[in-house]
Amino acid sequence: PDLGRRFAERKRCADLECSMLMCRGKAMQDFKGPDCRFVNFKKGEAVYVYYKLIGKSTELWAGSVGSDFGYFPKDLLEINHNYSNEELELPTDETDFVCF
C-alpha cells in the first residue's frame, strides 16, 4: 500500500521531545517492514515504544528493537510494561518519516 511520505499528522508521546519510553512489549510474530522507515523484529523480541501515531494512521507505533528504530504495526505487540501514563498529543514532523 502507498503510505505516502507522512503516515500521520499527529502523535502521542510521553514528553515534548518524544524521547521518553512509553511502554515495552513482546513481538507476537515476525515483522519485516516494507522500507527503511520500519523496524524489523522476530517473534519474542522486546520492542520499546517511544510514540504512537494518531489520526490517519492509528495502527502504527514507533519504537526500537536493539539499536534499530522505526515503525511497526501496534497489533503485533503484546504490552508487558508501561513506563508512563502521561500522553501528550503533538504534531508530527517531516523528520519523523525519513530513513536514518
- Structural domains of the chain ordered from first start: 12-96 (2.30.30.40)
| CA 14/CA 56 separation, integer angstroms | 20
* Residue-level length of the chain: 100
| Separation of alpha carbons 13 and 20, rounded Å | 8
Confidence (pLDDT) at 57: 65
Q: Is the pTM of this model over 0.85?
A: yes
% the chain with pLDDT above 90: 75
CA distance 80 to 77: 9
Strand partners, 63: 49, 70
